[in-house]
Structure 1
Protein backbone atom coordinates (compact mmCIF):
# COMPACT_ATOMS: atom_id res chain seq x y z
CA UNK A 1 0.00 0.00 0.00
CA UNK A 2 1.52 3.31 -1.14
CA UNK A 3 0.39 5.65 1.63
CA UNK A 4 2.33 8.62 0.31
CA UNK A 5 0.53 8.41 -3.03
CA UNK A 6 -2.84 8.29 -1.25
CA UNK A 7 -1.96 11.43 0.71
CA UNK A 8 -0.67 13.22 -2.38
CA UNK A 9 -3.86 12.37 -4.28
CA UNK A 10 -6.21 13.78 -1.66
CA UNK A 11 -6.17 17.47 -2.82
CA UNK A 12 -7.02 16.55 -6.41
CA UNK A 13 -9.66 14.07 -5.28
CA UNK A 14 -11.23 16.63 -2.95
CA UNK A 15 -11.46 19.09 -5.83
CA UNK A 16 -13.18 16.38 -7.86
CA UNK A 17 -15.48 15.77 -4.89
CA UNK A 18 -16.48 19.46 -4.95
CA UNK A 19 -17.50 19.03 -8.59
CA UNK A 20 -19.47 15.92 -7.59
CA UNK A 21 -21.28 17.76 -4.79
CA UNK A 22 -22.01 20.72 -7.06
CA UNK A 23 -23.43 18.47 -9.75
CA UNK A 24 -25.42 16.49 -7.20
CA UNK A 25 -26.91 19.59 -5.58
CA UNK A 26 -28.09 21.04 -8.88
CA UNK A 27 -29.41 17.64 -9.95
CA UNK A 28 -31.49 17.26 -6.79
CA UNK A 29 -32.85 20.81 -6.96
CA UNK A 30 -33.93 20.69 -10.59
CA UNK A 31 -35.10 17.10 -10.25
CA UNK A 32 -37.29 17.98 -7.26
CA UNK A 33 -38.78 20.98 -9.06
CA UNK A 34 -39.76 18.74 -11.98
CA UNK A 35 -40.87 15.82 -9.81
CA UNK A 36 -43.42 17.83 -7.81
CA UNK A 37 -45.93 18.44 -10.64
CA UNK A 38 -45.15 15.06 -12.19
CA UNK A 39 -45.83 13.23 -8.92
CA UNK A 40 -49.14 15.03 -8.42
CA UNK A 41 -50.16 14.35 -12.02
CA UNK A 42 -49.21 10.68 -11.72
CA UNK A 43 -51.24 10.31 -8.52
CA UNK A 44 -54.34 12.40 -9.18
CA UNK A 45 -54.18 13.59 -12.79
CA UNK A 46 -56.70 12.68 -15.44
CA UNK A 47 -55.80 9.97 -17.93
CA UNK A 48 -54.63 12.30 -20.78
CA UNK A 49 -52.07 13.78 -18.37
CA UNK A 50 -51.37 10.80 -16.14
CA UNK A 51 -50.54 8.32 -18.91
CA UNK A 52 -47.74 10.38 -20.55
CA UNK A 53 -46.31 11.10 -17.11
CA UNK A 54 -46.30 7.40 -16.25
CA UNK A 55 -44.66 6.72 -19.61
CA UNK A 56 -41.91 9.21 -18.75
CA UNK A 57 -41.42 7.61 -15.33
CA UNK A 58 -41.36 4.11 -16.83
CA UNK A 59 -38.77 5.07 -19.46
CA UNK A 60 -36.29 6.67 -17.06
CA UNK A 61 -36.75 3.95 -14.42
CA UNK A 62 -36.52 1.13 -16.93
CA UNK A 63 -33.45 2.12 -18.94
CA UNK A 64 -29.81 2.33 -17.74
CA UNK A 65 -28.64 5.77 -16.71
CA UNK A 66 -25.48 5.35 -18.79
CA UNK A 67 -27.61 4.86 -21.91
CA UNK A 68 -29.57 7.99 -21.03
CA UNK A 69 -26.35 9.98 -20.66
CA UNK A 70 -25.16 8.84 -24.09
CA UNK A 71 -28.55 9.55 -25.68
CA UNK A 72 -28.47 13.15 -24.45
CA UNK A 73 -24.77 13.85 -24.99
CA UNK A 74 -24.30 12.09 -28.33
CA UNK A 75 -27.88 11.80 -29.56
CA UNK A 76 -29.16 15.38 -29.42
CA UNK A 77 -26.35 16.61 -31.67
CA UNK A 78 -27.66 14.35 -34.46
CA UNK A 79 -30.71 16.58 -34.99
CA UNK A 80 -30.15 19.71 -37.14
CA UNK A 81 -33.06 21.44 -35.38
CA UNK A 82 -31.26 21.09 -32.06
CA UNK A 83 -27.96 22.38 -33.45
CA UNK A 84 -29.78 25.38 -34.96
CA UNK A 85 -31.75 26.19 -31.80
CA UNK A 86 -30.84 28.73 -29.13
CA UNK A 87 -30.26 25.83 -26.70
CA UNK A 88 -27.32 24.43 -28.66
CA UNK A 89 -24.63 26.53 -26.88
CA UNK A 90 -25.81 24.88 -23.66
CA UNK A 91 -26.53 21.36 -24.92
CA UNK A 92 -23.15 20.99 -26.58
CA UNK A 93 -21.44 21.29 -23.19
CA UNK A 94 -20.83 18.02 -21.36
CA UNK A 95 -21.61 19.58 -17.97
CA UNK A 96 -25.12 20.65 -18.93
CA UNK A 97 -25.82 17.37 -20.71
CA UNK A 98 -24.87 15.46 -17.56
CA UNK A 99 -26.96 17.80 -15.40
CA UNK A 100 -29.96 17.48 -17.72
CA UNK A 101 -29.77 13.68 -17.81
CA UNK A 102 -29.30 13.28 -14.07
CA UNK A 103 -32.11 15.74 -13.31
CA UNK A 104 -34.53 13.97 -15.64
CA UNK A 105 -33.51 10.62 -14.17
CA UNK A 106 -33.96 11.57 -10.53
CA UNK A 107 -37.19 13.44 -11.35
CA UNK A 108 -38.71 10.17 -12.55
CA UNK A 109 -37.76 8.29 -9.39
CA UNK A 110 -38.76 11.17 -7.11
CA UNK A 111 -42.09 11.60 -8.88
CA UNK A 112 -42.80 7.91 -8.36
CA UNK A 113 -41.92 8.22 -4.66
CA UNK A 114 -44.21 11.24 -4.35
CA UNK A 115 -46.96 9.44 -6.24
CA UNK A 116 -46.89 6.55 -3.78
CA UNK A 117 -46.82 8.91 -0.81
CA UNK A 118 -49.83 10.86 -2.08
CA UNK A 119 -51.81 7.69 -2.72
CA UNK A 120 -51.00 6.52 0.83
CA UNK A 121 -52.93 9.46 2.32
CA UNK A 122 -56.59 8.58 3.02
CA UNK A 123 -59.08 10.11 0.61
CA UNK A 124 -61.17 11.20 3.55
CA UNK A 125 -58.74 14.02 4.33
CA UNK A 126 -59.06 15.48 0.83
CA UNK A 127 -62.84 15.08 0.90
CA UNK A 128 -63.05 16.78 4.29
CA UNK A 129 -60.93 19.68 3.02
CA UNK A 130 -63.15 20.04 -0.05
CA UNK A 131 -66.23 19.98 2.15
CA UNK A 132 -64.79 22.79 4.27
CA UNK A 133 -64.44 24.97 1.16
CA UNK A 134 -60.69 24.72 0.57
CA UNK A 135 -59.45 25.09 -2.99
CA UNK A 136 -57.40 22.24 -4.52
CA UNK A 137 -54.22 24.33 -4.39
CA UNK A 138 -54.60 24.90 -0.65
CA UNK A 139 -55.50 21.25 -0.07
CA UNK A 140 -52.22 20.13 -1.61
CA UNK A 141 -50.16 22.84 0.05
CA UNK A 142 -51.59 22.49 3.56
CA UNK A 143 -52.95 18.94 3.77
CA UNK A 144 -51.58 16.54 1.15
CA UNK A 145 -47.98 17.57 0.45
CA UNK A 146 -46.77 17.99 4.07
CA UNK A 147 -47.88 14.43 4.84
CA UNK A 148 -46.59 13.08 1.53
CA UNK A 149 -43.17 14.60 2.15
CA UNK A 150 -42.99 12.96 5.56
CA UNK A 151 -44.05 9.59 4.15
CA UNK A 152 -41.70 9.71 1.15
CA UNK A 153 -38.65 11.19 2.84
CA UNK A 154 -36.99 7.87 3.86
CA UNK A 155 -37.20 6.61 0.27
CA UNK A 156 -36.00 9.98 -1.02
CA UNK A 157 -32.98 9.78 1.27
CA UNK A 158 -32.00 6.58 -0.50
CA UNK A 159 -32.58 8.30 -3.84
CA UNK A 160 -30.19 11.12 -2.90
CA UNK A 161 -27.46 8.62 -2.08
CA UNK A 162 -28.14 6.70 -5.30
CA UNK A 163 -27.83 9.90 -7.34
CA UNK A 164 -24.59 10.75 -5.55
CA UNK A 165 -23.17 7.46 -6.78
CA UNK A 166 -24.72 8.00 -10.23
CA UNK A 167 -22.75 11.23 -10.72
CA UNK A 168 -19.72 9.01 -11.35
CA UNK A 169 -21.17 8.28 -14.82
CA UNK A 170 -20.53 11.91 -15.75
CA UNK A 171 -16.88 10.92 -16.07
CA UNK A 172 -17.79 8.99 -19.23
CA UNK A 173 -18.45 12.29 -21.03
CA UNK A 174 -15.23 14.02 -19.92
CA UNK A 175 -16.43 15.66 -16.69
CA UNK A 176 -13.68 15.62 -14.08
CA UNK A 177 -15.71 14.88 -10.98
CA UNK A 178 -14.45 12.50 -8.30
CA UNK A 179 -14.36 9.35 -10.43
CA UNK A 180 -13.01 11.20 -13.47
CA UNK A 181 -10.24 12.72 -11.36
CA UNK A 182 -9.40 9.31 -9.91
CA UNK A 183 -9.18 7.82 -13.42
CA UNK A 184 -6.80 10.60 -14.45
CA UNK A 185 -4.53 9.98 -11.46
CA UNK A 186 -4.56 6.23 -12.11
CA UNK A 187 -3.60 6.77 -15.74
CA UNK A 188 -0.59 8.76 -14.55
CA UNK A 189 0.52 6.67 -11.59
CA UNK A 190 -0.63 3.13 -12.49
CA UNK A 191 -1.83 2.69 -8.90
CA UNK A 192 -5.57 2.00 -9.08
CA UNK A 193 -5.79 0.32 -5.68
CA UNK A 194 -4.64 3.28 -3.59
CA UNK A 195 -6.41 5.94 -5.66
CA UNK A 196 -9.78 4.24 -5.83
CA UNK A 197 -9.70 3.38 -2.13
CA UNK A 198 -9.22 7.10 -1.43
CA UNK A 199 -12.07 7.98 -3.81
CA UNK A 200 -14.32 5.36 -2.20
CA UNK A 201 -13.68 6.81 1.26
CA UNK A 202 -14.62 10.28 0.03
CA UNK A 203 -17.81 8.91 -1.53
CA UNK A 204 -18.55 7.21 1.79
CA UNK A 205 -18.19 10.51 3.64
CA UNK A 206 -20.56 12.25 1.24
CA UNK A 207 -23.09 9.42 1.59
CA UNK A 208 -22.83 9.63 5.38
CA UNK A 209 -23.56 13.37 5.23
CA UNK A 210 -26.58 12.82 2.99
CA UNK A 211 -27.92 10.12 5.31
CA UNK A 212 -27.55 12.40 8.32
CA UNK A 213 -29.28 15.22 6.46
CA UNK A 214 -32.22 12.98 5.49
CA UNK A 215 -32.52 11.69 9.06
CA UNK A 216 -32.52 15.22 10.49
CA UNK A 217 -35.15 16.35 7.96
CA UNK A 218 -37.31 13.33 8.80
CA UNK A 219 -37.05 14.08 12.53
CA UNK A 220 -38.00 17.71 11.95
CA UNK A 221 -41.03 16.84 9.83
CA UNK A 222 -42.15 14.31 12.45
CA UNK A 223 -41.51 16.45 15.52
CA UNK A 224 -45.25 16.90 16.19
CA UNK A 225 -45.57 13.13 16.58
CA UNK A 226 -42.81 12.86 19.18
CA UNK A 227 -44.91 13.62 22.32
CA UNK A 228 -47.43 10.89 21.41
CA UNK A 229 -44.66 8.35 20.79
CA UNK A 230 -42.91 9.26 24.04
CA UNK A 231 -46.19 8.98 25.96
CA UNK A 232 -46.82 5.53 24.45
CA UNK A 233 -43.32 4.35 25.34
CA UNK A 234 -43.72 5.71 28.87
CA UNK A 235 -47.02 3.87 29.24
CA UNK A 236 -45.48 0.61 28.01
CA UNK A 237 -42.53 0.89 30.40
CA UNK A 238 -44.69 1.68 33.41
CA UNK A 239 -44.86 -1.22 35.94
CA UNK A 240 -48.13 -3.10 36.00
CA UNK A 241 -50.08 -2.92 39.28
CA UNK A 242 -51.67 -6.01 40.67
Structure 2
Protein backbone atom coordinates (compact mmCIF):
# COMPACT_ATOMS: atom_id res chain seq x y z
CA UNK A 1 0.00 0.00 0.00
CA UNK A 2 2.94 2.32 0.72
CA UNK A 3 4.18 1.90 -2.85
CA UNK A 4 0.81 2.96 -4.21
CA UNK A 5 0.73 6.00 -1.91
CA UNK A 6 4.20 7.03 -3.09
CA UNK A 7 3.06 6.55 -6.71
CA UNK A 8 0.17 8.97 -6.14
CA UNK A 9 2.46 11.33 -4.22
CA UNK A 10 4.73 11.53 -7.26
CA UNK A 11 1.96 13.47 -8.98
CA UNK A 12 2.37 16.38 -6.55
CA UNK A 13 5.16 18.15 -8.52
CA UNK A 14 2.96 18.23 -11.64
CA UNK A 15 -0.05 19.53 -9.70
CA UNK A 16 2.05 22.22 -8.03
CA UNK A 17 3.74 23.17 -11.31
CA UNK A 18 0.34 23.62 -12.96
CA UNK A 19 -0.84 25.68 -9.99
CA UNK A 20 2.19 27.98 -10.01
CA UNK A 21 2.09 28.48 -13.78
CA UNK A 22 -1.66 29.17 -13.78
CA UNK A 23 -1.41 31.62 -10.88
CA UNK A 24 1.55 33.43 -12.44
CA UNK A 25 0.01 33.89 -15.90
CA UNK A 26 -3.47 34.35 -14.45
CA UNK A 27 -2.26 37.15 -12.18
CA UNK A 28 -0.56 39.01 -15.04
CA UNK A 29 -3.62 38.66 -17.27
CA UNK A 30 -5.90 39.75 -14.42
CA UNK A 31 -3.89 42.96 -14.03
CA UNK A 32 -4.30 43.63 -17.76
CA UNK A 33 -8.02 42.85 -17.64
CA UNK A 34 -8.45 45.16 -14.64
CA UNK A 35 -6.63 47.94 -16.49
CA UNK A 36 -8.90 47.58 -19.51
CA UNK A 37 -12.05 47.53 -17.36
CA UNK A 38 -10.88 50.61 -15.45
CA UNK A 39 -9.44 52.74 -18.25
CA UNK A 40 -12.17 52.02 -20.80
CA UNK A 41 -15.11 51.64 -18.45
CA UNK A 42 -18.37 51.63 -20.43
CA UNK A 43 -16.53 51.56 -23.76
CA UNK A 44 -16.09 48.80 -26.33
CA UNK A 45 -12.77 47.36 -25.02
CA UNK A 46 -14.26 47.01 -21.53
CA UNK A 47 -17.45 45.45 -22.91
CA UNK A 48 -15.40 42.96 -24.90
CA UNK A 49 -13.40 42.14 -21.79
CA UNK A 50 -16.57 41.64 -19.77
CA UNK A 51 -17.83 39.18 -22.38
CA UNK A 52 -14.52 37.33 -22.19
CA UNK A 53 -14.75 37.16 -18.39
CA UNK A 54 -18.38 36.02 -18.49
CA UNK A 55 -17.42 33.11 -20.77
CA UNK A 56 -14.65 31.86 -18.49
CA UNK A 57 -16.60 32.33 -15.26
CA UNK A 58 -19.88 31.06 -16.69
CA UNK A 59 -18.70 27.77 -18.20
CA UNK A 60 -17.20 24.76 -16.36
CA UNK A 61 -13.42 24.65 -16.20
CA UNK A 62 -13.51 21.03 -17.40
CA UNK A 63 -15.27 22.15 -20.58
CA UNK A 64 -12.61 24.83 -21.12
CA UNK A 65 -9.81 22.29 -20.69
CA UNK A 66 -11.36 19.96 -23.25
CA UNK A 67 -12.03 22.83 -25.67
CA UNK A 68 -8.36 23.81 -25.66
CA UNK A 69 -7.17 20.21 -25.82
CA UNK A 70 -9.50 18.87 -28.52
CA UNK A 71 -10.76 22.01 -30.26
CA UNK A 72 -7.66 23.27 -32.10
CA UNK A 73 -7.20 19.90 -33.81
CA UNK A 74 -10.43 20.55 -35.73
CA UNK A 75 -8.80 23.42 -37.66
CA UNK A 76 -6.33 22.67 -40.42
CA UNK A 77 -4.70 26.10 -40.30
CA UNK A 78 -3.74 25.46 -36.66
CA UNK A 79 -2.50 21.93 -37.35
CA UNK A 80 -0.36 23.27 -40.18
CA UNK A 81 1.13 26.09 -38.12
CA UNK A 82 3.59 26.37 -35.24
CA UNK A 83 0.62 26.58 -32.86
CA UNK A 84 0.02 22.86 -33.20
CA UNK A 85 3.31 22.13 -31.43
CA UNK A 86 1.75 23.88 -28.42
CA UNK A 87 -1.87 22.77 -28.58
CA UNK A 88 -0.88 19.16 -29.13
CA UNK A 89 0.68 19.20 -25.67
CA UNK A 90 -1.72 18.39 -22.83
CA UNK A 91 0.41 20.36 -20.36
CA UNK A 92 0.15 23.55 -22.42
CA UNK A 93 -3.61 23.20 -22.82
CA UNK A 94 -4.02 22.63 -19.09
CA UNK A 95 -1.96 25.69 -18.17
CA UNK A 96 -3.79 27.81 -20.75
CA UNK A 97 -7.24 26.83 -19.50
CA UNK A 98 -6.31 27.17 -15.83
CA UNK A 99 -4.61 30.54 -16.43
CA UNK A 100 -7.50 32.07 -18.37
CA UNK A 101 -10.02 30.76 -15.88
CA UNK A 102 -8.03 32.12 -12.95
CA UNK A 103 -7.53 35.45 -14.73
CA UNK A 104 -11.27 35.87 -15.24
CA UNK A 105 -12.14 35.30 -11.59
CA UNK A 106 -9.15 37.30 -10.33
CA UNK A 107 -9.98 40.24 -12.62
CA UNK A 108 -13.44 40.43 -11.08
CA UNK A 109 -11.85 40.47 -7.65
CA UNK A 110 -9.26 43.11 -8.55
CA UNK A 111 -11.75 45.30 -10.41
CA UNK A 112 -14.05 45.22 -7.40
CA UNK A 113 -11.14 46.34 -5.21
CA UNK A 114 -10.34 49.17 -7.64
CA UNK A 115 -13.97 50.29 -7.63
CA UNK A 116 -13.77 50.50 -3.84
CA UNK A 117 -10.98 53.05 -4.00
CA UNK A 118 -12.45 56.25 -2.62
CA UNK A 119 -13.31 59.08 -4.97
CA UNK A 120 -11.11 61.38 -2.90
CA UNK A 121 -8.03 59.28 -3.67
CA UNK A 122 -8.70 59.47 -7.40
CA UNK A 123 -9.33 63.21 -7.20
CA UNK A 124 -6.16 63.76 -5.17
CA UNK A 125 -4.09 62.04 -7.87
CA UNK A 126 -5.81 63.94 -10.67
CA UNK A 127 -5.40 67.22 -8.78
CA UNK A 128 -1.64 66.61 -8.80
CA UNK A 129 -1.74 66.62 -12.58
CA UNK A 130 -1.66 62.84 -13.05
CA UNK A 131 -3.48 61.17 -15.90
CA UNK A 132 -5.93 58.38 -15.08
CA UNK A 133 -3.30 55.86 -16.17
CA UNK A 134 -0.66 57.42 -13.87
CA UNK A 135 -3.16 57.43 -10.99
CA UNK A 136 -3.84 53.74 -11.62
CA UNK A 137 -0.15 52.90 -11.21
CA UNK A 138 -0.36 54.29 -7.67
CA UNK A 139 -3.83 53.20 -6.61
CA UNK A 140 -4.06 49.71 -8.13
CA UNK A 141 -1.21 48.28 -5.98
CA UNK A 142 -3.10 49.61 -2.96
CA UNK A 143 -6.30 47.95 -4.16
CA UNK A 144 -4.49 44.67 -4.86
CA UNK A 145 -3.16 44.52 -1.32
CA UNK A 146 -6.66 44.91 0.04
CA UNK A 147 -7.89 42.18 -2.32
CA UNK A 148 -5.25 39.73 -1.10
CA UNK A 149 -7.44 38.04 1.55
CA UNK A 150 -9.92 37.05 -1.16
CA UNK A 151 -7.17 36.21 -3.65
CA UNK A 152 -5.71 33.68 -1.22
CA UNK A 153 -8.85 31.60 -1.81
CA UNK A 154 -8.05 31.57 -5.53
CA UNK A 155 -4.71 29.89 -4.80
CA UNK A 156 -6.45 26.99 -3.09
CA UNK A 157 -9.17 26.79 -5.76
CA UNK A 158 -6.64 26.59 -8.58
CA UNK A 159 -4.69 23.85 -6.85
CA UNK A 160 -7.88 21.82 -6.37
CA UNK A 161 -8.88 22.53 -9.97
CA UNK A 162 -5.71 20.87 -11.25
CA UNK A 163 -7.43 17.57 -10.46
CA UNK A 164 -9.44 18.07 -13.65
CA UNK A 165 -6.39 17.75 -15.92
CA UNK A 166 -6.41 13.98 -15.45
CA UNK A 167 -9.16 14.05 -18.08
CA UNK A 168 -6.57 14.96 -20.73
CA UNK A 169 -4.09 12.21 -19.83
CA UNK A 170 -1.90 14.14 -17.39
CA UNK A 171 -0.70 12.07 -14.42
CA UNK A 172 -1.16 14.55 -11.63
CA UNK A 173 -2.30 13.47 -8.16
CA UNK A 174 -5.80 12.61 -9.34
CA UNK A 175 -4.54 11.08 -12.58
CA UNK A 176 -2.33 8.65 -10.71
CA UNK A 177 -5.12 7.75 -8.27
CA UNK A 178 -7.42 7.11 -11.21
CA UNK A 179 -4.81 4.89 -12.89
CA UNK A 180 -4.42 2.74 -9.77
CA UNK A 181 -8.18 2.60 -9.35
CA UNK A 182 -8.56 1.37 -12.92
CA UNK A 183 -5.99 -1.35 -12.36
CA UNK A 184 -7.35 -2.67 -9.06
CA UNK A 185 -10.96 -1.43 -8.95
CA UNK A 186 -10.24 -0.22 -5.41
CA UNK A 187 -11.54 3.31 -5.93
CA UNK A 188 -12.16 4.18 -2.29
CA UNK A 189 -8.60 3.52 -1.13
CA UNK A 190 -6.76 5.40 -3.86
CA UNK A 191 -9.14 8.32 -4.13
CA UNK A 192 -9.01 8.65 -0.34
CA UNK A 193 -5.22 8.78 -0.55
CA UNK A 194 -5.47 11.52 -3.17
CA UNK A 195 -7.94 13.39 -0.97
CA UNK A 196 -5.56 13.30 1.99
CA UNK A 197 -2.72 14.64 -0.16
CA UNK A 198 -4.90 17.48 -1.48
CA UNK A 199 -6.04 18.27 2.07
CA UNK A 200 -2.50 18.49 3.46
CA UNK A 201 -1.17 20.60 0.59
CA UNK A 202 -4.19 22.91 0.75
CA UNK A 203 -3.55 23.43 4.46
CA UNK A 204 0.05 24.38 3.70
CA UNK A 205 -1.05 26.76 0.92
CA UNK A 206 -3.56 28.42 3.26
CA UNK A 207 -0.86 29.00 5.89
CA UNK A 208 1.47 30.49 3.27
CA UNK A 209 -1.33 32.69 1.90
CA UNK A 210 -2.18 33.94 5.41
CA UNK A 211 1.45 34.83 6.06
CA UNK A 212 1.60 36.75 2.76
CA UNK A 213 -1.67 38.47 3.61
CA UNK A 214 -0.43 39.50 7.06
CA UNK A 215 2.77 40.94 5.63
CA UNK A 216 1.06 42.74 2.74
CA UNK A 217 -1.55 44.34 5.01
CA UNK A 218 0.89 45.31 7.75
CA UNK A 219 0.78 48.92 6.50
CA UNK A 220 -2.90 49.17 7.49
CA UNK A 221 -2.39 48.09 11.08
TM-score bracket for this pair, using the shorter chain length: over 0.9
CA distance, structure 1, for counterparts of residue 61 and residue 200 of structure 2: 23
Matched, 1:91 2:87: yes
* Aligned equivalent of 2:181: 186
For the residue of structure 1 that corresponds to 2:82, the secondary structure is coil
Determine the C-alpha separation between the residues in 2 that align with 1:137 and 1:50.
15
Deviation by residue 1:109-164 (Cα, 9 ceiling, x = unmatched)? 0111111010011122111012113344442232x122211221122111111111
Match status 1:203 vs 2:213: no
Maintained 8 Å contact 2:19/2:159? yes
Distance across 1 between alignment mates of 2:111 and 2:8: 38
Which secondary structure state, in structure 2, belongs to the residue aligned with residue 41 of structure 1? Answer: helix
The 2-side partners of 1:125 and 1:31 are apart by: 28
Taking the aligned partners of 2:126 and 2:55, their CA distance within structure 1 comes to: 35
Q: Verify the 8 A CA contact 2:18 2:95 in the aligned structure 1.
A: yes
Contact kept in structure 2, 1:110 and 1:156, CA below 8 Å = yes
Distance 1:141 1:209 in 2: 32
Q: Please identify, of 213-222 and 110-119, the stretch whose mean Cα deviation from structure 2 is larger.
A: 213-222
Shift of 1:70: 1.3
Q: State the secondary structure of the residue aligned to 2:11.
A: helix
TM-score normalised to the size of structure 2?
Answer: 0.94
Q: 2:143 aligns with which of 145, 148, 151?
A: 148
Matched, 1:64 2:60: yes
Superposition RMSD in Å = 1.4
Work out whether residues 40 and 114 of structure 1, in 8 Å CA contact, stay in contact via their aligned partners in 2: no
TM-score by length of 1: 0.86
Question: Of 128, 134, 141, which aligns to 1:132?
Answer: 128
Gaps of 5+ in 2: none
The structure having more radius of gyration, on CA atoms, is 1
Please state if 1:52 is matched with 2:48. Answer: yes
Q: Which ranges in structure 1 are unaligned for 5 or more consecutive residues?
A: 227-242
Q: State whether structure 2 residue 78 is matched by structure 1 residue 78.
A: no
CA contact (8 A) 1:106 1:163 kept: yes
Contact 1:24 1:163 in 2 (8 A): yes
Local SS of the residue matching 1:133: coil
The answer on 1:11 being equivalent to 2:10 is: no
